[in-house]
Structure formats: C-alpha cells, structure tokens
Structure 1
Amino acid sequence: MKHILFILFFTAGTCAAQVTVAKDTITLDRQQAEALFLEKNIALLAGRLDMDIAEAQVVQAKLWPNPTLTVSEINLWSNATAEKLPPLWRNFGTTSEVAVSLEQIIITAGKRRKMISMEKVSADMAKEYFSEMLRNLKLEFRNTMTDLQLTQLQQKIYKKQVSSIQVLTAAYAKQVQQGNTASAEYTRLKAAEIQFLRDLSELDRENNRLQKELKVLMSLPSSSYIKLSDDGFAPDLADIARLQLSLLIEQALENRPDVKSAKLASLYSNEKYKYERALRTPDITLQASYDRGGNIMNNFVGFGFAIDLPFFNRNQGNIKAARASIKQSELLVEQKTITVQAEVIEAYSNLQASLQLYSEFSNGLEGELDKLLDSYFRSFRQRDTSLILYLDYVNAYIENKAIILNTRKNISAQYEELKYITGQEL
C-alpha cells in the first residue's frame, strides 16, 4: 500500500509540474529553433562586434598623423631692458614676445601603406575567427537539439509503457481482491511499473539539463519549456550516400575557417616583416616657425626639419623576429593541413560505421517491434502469455528501441561533425 501511495503521489506531482510548465511551452522544429539561436545568442552578438572593432582599426591605420602646433615664449610682464616693438593692437604689445611653431610628421618608406595592409589582414582574420566561433556554437546547438529530441522520443516510449502497465496493474489489483490471481504476479507488475517510472524520472532530469543548455544558447526566459518536433532527428541517408572522401578533404582544406585563419596568419607575418623592415627608415618631421621679438629680426619666419639618425637602432631585433614568425606560420599551416586531412578521414569512417549498423534496422524491424509489442500486450491481457514472457519482451523492446534511436542520433551527430570538419555551411 505504501508503494501504491508513493506512485500516486509521484505521478500526481509529475502531472502538476507538467501543467505548470505547459503555460510557457514553446513548440519548435529544428529550423525555427536555429533561427532563434542565430538571432538571440549573446556570444554571437558579442562576436560580431570583434569584426566591427577590426574594421575600425583599418580606418584608424589610414589616418595621417596630426600636425603639432606649439605656442611659446609668451612674456606676461617686461623689465627695463625690454626693446620696443611695434604694437600688436593700438598701444598694446610693444614689449610682448611670442613664438609659434608648426610640425608635421612625414611617414617614409611606405610604412602607412604597410600598416593598412596589416590591419586589413587582421580584419579578415577577425571574420574567420567569428566564422569559427559560429560553426562551433552551431555544432554544439545542433547536437544539443538532437540530444533533446532523443530524450523526448525515449520519454514517449516510457510513458506509453507506463500507461500500458498501469492498466494491467489496475486490472490485476481487482483480480487479487477477488481472489482470482496470486498477489505475486501483481507485485511483479508493480515492481516493473516502479522501474519504468524510475527510468522515466531519469529521462526527465536529462530533459531538464538539455532544456537549460538550449535556453542559454537561445537566450530564452528561464520559465520556458522547449518542445522540439521529431523532424530532422536523423539526416537524409540519400545525402550521406553521395559523400566522397576525396572531395570532402578538398572542401575542408578550402572552406574551413581555421585553415583560412592559419593562412591569413602566415600572410600577416609577411606583412609584418615588410613593416618592420620599413621601420629602419626614420620618419621626417617638417617644421615651420614664427618668432616675434626673440631673434635678430622682428617677426622672424623660419623652416626646418628633424630626422632620427639610425646609427644604433635599425630595428634589427624586430626584423629578425618577424622573419622567424614567417617560418613559424608556414609550419603551422602545414600542421593544420595534415590535421584536417586526418580529422576528415576519421569522421567519415565513424559515419560509415554507424550507417552500417543502421542498415540492420532498415528492413522494417522497428515497425515489427511495435506490432509484436501490441500483440504481446493483448495476449497477456487475455492470459495467453505468461507475465515473465511479457515483461521480458517489454524490456527487450525498450532496449532495441533505445539501440535504434541512439544509432539514429549517432548518425545525425556524426553527419553534423563531418560537415563541421569539412567546413560546410552548418
């Protein structure tokens, strides 16, 4: 009796929780969920700003240095030795001195143009970094959706079995009260019911975990409950059958953002080397000055220039470091190429292995399992099948359904992984 009260309390609590959550249920298919993810994900919104920052750096590199205006030698009073000068205004300023100078740096050796080239490469790298972040988040999001779909499909299976076995336990309870059935069979049925409810509770916890992850990825309110349709749980096998390993490797080397980033890093190292070499040539500062009353002539105007003399520092260390960076980036591109090729082969092989296993189920086995389960249920109700045989088949049914669903899930996850590794649009 205690077990029965526990089950009734547990079931009532579960139903109440579902009623509460249902108020904020959001029913989506995979395309709708992904569109919401792309629109609302905070990490993507922040990542896009990195590209804006990089583009702003290109604009900054194009700007010329500002000229420098200096006003000096202004005397606030005079003494007895002051010479008389023409007044600045009426009778004011006959002993006032002032000096004004204007300076402008002239960047030499094409350093400004080389800096612009470096910043443009940096902007392209920022775009590839964002593409890499986007495809990583997409892969995580899609796999989480697949996990949630799997969990919800498993929940349907267990809820159906719980419903069926509860019908049987209710019927057997009446038979036990009437003395027509031994209580041992009723106890065995009730134990199986508790086992199914425990498994369903574990699925509910897994569902809650996946709900949390998807709500964070889609920036949904915490009170939301996501219900995904079954569409797209497994990919189209016809699309997978057309895959060719050699073409996949070519696509990966051509399309992957991390490969592009490695090549851009090598290009950036070359541009950096050019810029460091240009720094050997000193910039020139042009000067123009005006001096009132501070020179051998009144209202003196003069011109000049300033330039560093590269006797000691000709940027030798930075040039050497930039040259080494070029070699380093070339080695990293080579390593990335080898890594990508190996990753494509591994992902392709894993997908083929899962397809081989799934081919065992493609002959209608899943439908036959459902029909046979219904047949066993009817036979057991009519007492044509023993309790042990019925429960053994139910357990075998659930295990086989789990194998089929997990194989489909693995195919979906591995297909997404293969698309991710080959740099295809996710």
Structure 2
Amino acid sequence: MIFHFKLPVSIALLFVFSHTAKAQEKYTLQRALQTAKASNPFLKTEQFAIGIAQAEAITSKQWYNPKLGLNYINIASQKNAAPNSDLYSAINNQYAFQLGKTFQVAGQRKHKIDMAGKNIAFAEKSYAETERNLFLEVAQKWLEVWVAQKQLDILTSAKNNIDSLVITNQNRYKNQVITQTDLYRTQLLSKQYAIQYKTMLQEHANKKTELRFLLGSKDSLSIDMKDPFLFSGSENIEGLLAQSLENRSDITTAKTLIEVSDSNIKLQKSLAFPQPEVGVIYNPQNTIPYWGIYATFDLPFFNRNQGEIKKSVVLKKQAEQHLFTIQEQLQTEIKTAYASYKLQKQNVQNFETVLEQSQSILDNVKYAYLKSGTTIIDFLEAQRSWLETQQQYYEALQHYRQSYFQLLYATGLINQLAK
C-alpha cells in the first residue's frame, strides 16, 4: 500500500515541478524576439492582410461568368390574336433565350493578375515592417525588465549591507560605543532602502507583465540575466547605410508600392477600352424559330476612365516621393543612432573605473567606521554614493543598449535577430 501511495504522488510532484520549470524558462533577447514573431497578437492580426491579398489574387484569375437571359412577349389583346386561337397560344407570342459572355480586352485580365501578385508582395513587405517596429518594442521592454532586475540586485546588496550594520550598531549601542542617533540614522537608511526595494519590485513585475503580453505568452517568465545580447556585426557606417538602403523593410515596402503603382497604371489604361458582351440568341416568334448572334459594348463618348488613369499616375508619384523621403530619413536615423551608440558605449567604458573606486571607498569607510576611525555621517554618505554610482552605471548601460537596439532598428538588422 505504501508503494502504491507514493508512486502517484511522486509522479504528480514531477509533473508540477516540470511544468513550473517550463513556465519559468529563461528568455534571452533572441528567444524573446522569436517568441514574439510566432505569438504576438498584433502580428497575428496583421497576418490576415497577406491572406486577403492572396484571396484577391484568386479573384483576379477568375473568368467572367456567362449570362443567360430570357425574354417573353405576348399579344396584349384578343382582337389581335390569330383566328380561332387562344390569347396565350404559341402563335400569339414570342420569346428569346440569350446566352452571352463579357470579354476582357486590351490585357485587362493579365494586368489584374499582375497587380494582384504585386499586392501580395506589398502585403508581405508591409508585414516585415510591422515586425521591425514590434521587435524594437520587444527589445526595449526586455531591456527594461533586465534593468529592473539589476536595480533590484543592487538595492538588495545595499540593503543587506546596511542591515548588517544595523545589527552591529544595535550591539554597539548596548555597549555604549555609539549614540542612539547613530543607531537611528542607520535604521532610517535601512527603511528607505526597504521602501525603494518594494517600489522597484512592483515595477519589475509590471515590466514582466507588459513583456509577457508582447510575447503573446500566458506563462510567467524570467529574463536570462547573463545574456549579453550584443550581436556581432559591422560597425562601418557606410556599409550599414548601403545595406539598409537595399534591405530595410520600409525601403523594400516603398519600392514594392511603386511596382504596384506601375501595374495599376497599366490596368487603368486597359480599362479605358470597353468590355464587349458577345453571345447567341434563340428566338421562336409565333411558332417560327429564329436564331442569331449579338454584341454589346459601351460607347466611350464620355467615360474613358480618365479619372482613374490620372489617379494611378498621381499614386505612383506619391509612392516615388515616399521612397525618396524614407531614404533621406533612413540616412538621418542611422547617422544619429550610430553617433549615440558610440557615445553611450564610451560612457559605459568610463564608468568601470568609477565603479571600482566607489566600491573601494565604501569598504574603506565602513572599516574605518567600525574601528571608530570616522563618523556615521561619512559611512552613510559613502553608502549613498555607492548606490547612486551603481544606479547611474546601469542607467548608462541601459542607454548604451537602447542605442544599440536603435541602431539595429535603423539599419533593419533587428529583423535578423528573430530568425
């Protein structure tokens, strides 16, 4: 009985632990981007645009249905009927069956198919641009969670340091080595750190919730704090500009829109030609059968599709201007992002010496204070300075990595990180 009781419990515990481990799986930046690419709700919505364009391509390839018509005419009055016949007898009426079909001329069907294909490409390029914007948002939110966790770590370190001093000072106060004011000052700083920690803990939880939404995940998540999330690549600005002008998603989208506009101009010009309807007629009249053919088409005296043709030309000019504007904007974005990246990188490097000095000062002042070689004021000042230096360092690190993400976004390389 004992064996049969423990086995199901063990299996249940194993299931719970394995599920928790899976739910708490750490996310590197690249994994976060890949997850967002697969599960983000906004991207799922945008994917339908491609399906809509593909459905329109199916419509463009379909031929017009044939048309079947029926006309029936009967003599209106008995006095005009054939002698000795009923009003509705076959010799007093006539009817006609008409079977015809509208034909697309001047390459209208071909241009419709071509434009539909271009629209599919445009929808795909637009989707890639939506991904680019989303990936920047995900990367920045991932970084916010990373920084919040780092802030929690340094606040924990500072609070542990001051809490240990509180215990020491409580004993020193009992032994009348320090004054009550010194003890109160130490306890006050400990309470301040506790409040800051709770505030940062809530902010950290909020950032994780926001990131979880962007990833399209329902499970709790944690960040891989060891992920350097700096990817190797060229830092030559000329090379970055050339590559971006060729491959960035909004550039390729704008180029595709020009192709769509070209195709639309051809389509609208072809639609200036009337579409004839041609068919056959079977027409018995007063029991005498007739047959024939017919053709109908618009007479283009007034409407020759002038408005749509002019509109299509203007749309192409607009698309060309849009491409030119994006190209100019791209160069500005890359130059500013590159300059910011270089500056923030140098700032982080300069902070390394400051961090070491701050830690050394705190250790020395604490040791001197415990040996009664300095005052509590000096120690508390050194403690605050250490915490401020740590916070400023991670703030600089955040700005550095944000500038790096902005550079990846400006160059369009951020899309490659999700592959």
Aligned equivalents of 1:393, 1:175: Cα separation in 2: 20
Choose which of 240, 251, 259 in structure 2 pairs with 1:267. 259
C-alpha distance 27-387 of structure 1, shift in aligned 2 (>3 A) = farther
* Cα-Cα RMSD: 3.0
Q: Alpha-carbon deviations, 1:391-417, whole Å to 9, x = none?
A: 222211112212221222222211111
**CA offsets, 1:349-385, max 9 Å, x none?**
110111121221356x545644654554455444444
Residue 274 of structure 2 is matched in structure 1 by 282
Which residue in 1 is equivalent to 2:301? 311
**Which residue among 23, 26, 29 is the counterpart of 2:27?**
29
> Residues 68-147 of structure 1 correspond to what in structure 2 (within 5 A)?
68-73=67-72, 81=81, 99-147=96-144
Structure 2: gaps of 5 or more residues: 1-19
SS in 1 for 2:274: coil
Q: Report the residue type matching 1:325 in the other structure.
A: L
From 191, 196, 201, give the equivalent of 2:198.
201
Alignment of 1:159 with 2:148, yes or no, is: no
What is the correspondence of 1:395-414 to structure 2 with a 5 Å cutoff?
395-414=384-403
Deviations 1:285-341 (A, max 9, x none): 01112234x36x633322111111111211222222222222232222212211111
- What do the CA deviations read for 1:174-210 (whole angstroms, capped 9, x no partner)? 4334544211001111111122122223312321321
CA distance in 2, matches of 1:220, 1:382: 54
Once residues 370 and 29 of structure 1 are traced to their aligned partners in structure 2, the CA distance between those partners, rounded to angstroms, is 31
Cα 1:107–1:25, aligned 2, differ >3 Å: closer, same or farther?
closer
Segment of structure 1 superposing worse, 23-32 or 401-410: 23-32
What secondary structure is seen at the aligned counterpart in 2 of 1:107? Answer: coil
Aligned match of 1:344: 334
Q: How many residues align?
A: 390
Q: 1:388 aligns with which of 362, 377, 381?
A: 377
Question: Could you tell me how far 1:214 is from its partner in structure 2?
Answer: 0.8
Q: What secondary structure does 2:273 align onto?
A: coil
| Partner of residue 56, structure 1 | 55
**Quick one: which amino acid aligns to residue 128 of structure 2?**
S
Asked whether 1:299 is paired with 2:294, we answer no
Under a length normalisation based on structure 2, what TM-score does the superposition of the two structures give? 0.84
Deviation at residue 24 of structure 1 after TM alignment: 10
Q: Secondary structure at the match of 1:109?
A: coil
The letter of the residue matching 1:328 is Q
- Tell me what 1:39 maps to: 38
The one-letter code matched in structure 2 to 1:321 is K
User: Quick check: 119-128 or 34-43, which moved more?
Assistant: 34-43
TM-score normalised by the chain length of structure 1: 0.83
- After superposing the two structures, state which structure 1 stretch, 40-49 or 319-328, moved more: 319-328
SS at match of 2:226: coil
Tell me the distance in 2 between the aligned counterparts of 1:153 and 1:339: 35
Amino acid at match of 2:146: Q
Aligned residue in 1 for 2:317: 327
Q: Structure 1 residues 164, 362: closer, same or farther in 2, change over 3 A? A: closer
Map 1:169-248 to 2 at 5 A.
Answer: 169-221=166-218, 224-233=219-228, 235=230, 239=232, 242-248=234-240
Unaligned runs of 5+ in 1: 1-21, 86-91
In structure 2, what is the equivalent of residue 418 of structure 1?
A: 407
User: How many percent of aligned residue pairs carry the same amino acid?
Assistant: 23
Mean Cα displacement is larger for which, 177-186 or 112-121?
177-186
Match of 2:13 in 1: none
CA offsets, 1:117-166, max 9 Å, x none?
A: 22212111111111011111111001110111011011011012112212
Q: What secondary structure, in the 3-state scheme, does the structure 1 residue paired with 2:69 have?
A: strand
Cα-to-partner distance string for 1:23-76 (whole Å, 9 max, x where unaligned): 99724131333333222211111211211111111111111111112244298x
In structure 2, distance between residues paired with 1:197 and 1:218: 31
For the residues of structure 2 that align with 1:68 and 1:404, how far apart are their CA atoms?
A: 77
- Rounded to whole Å, the distance in 2 between the matches of 1:369 and 1:84 is 124
Distance 1:83 1:378 in 2: 134
* Per-residue deviation, 1:97: 6.3
Deviations 1:77-135 (CA, angstroms, capped at 9, x unpaired): x97947999xxxxxx99999653221201101111111112221211111111101111
Tell me how far apart the structure 2 counterparts of residues 39 and 164 of structure 1 sit (CA, whole Å).
44
Contact residue 166 and residue 193 of structure 1 kept, 8 A: yes
Are the counterparts in 2 of residues 132 and 258 from structure 1 also a CA contact under 8 Å?
A: yes
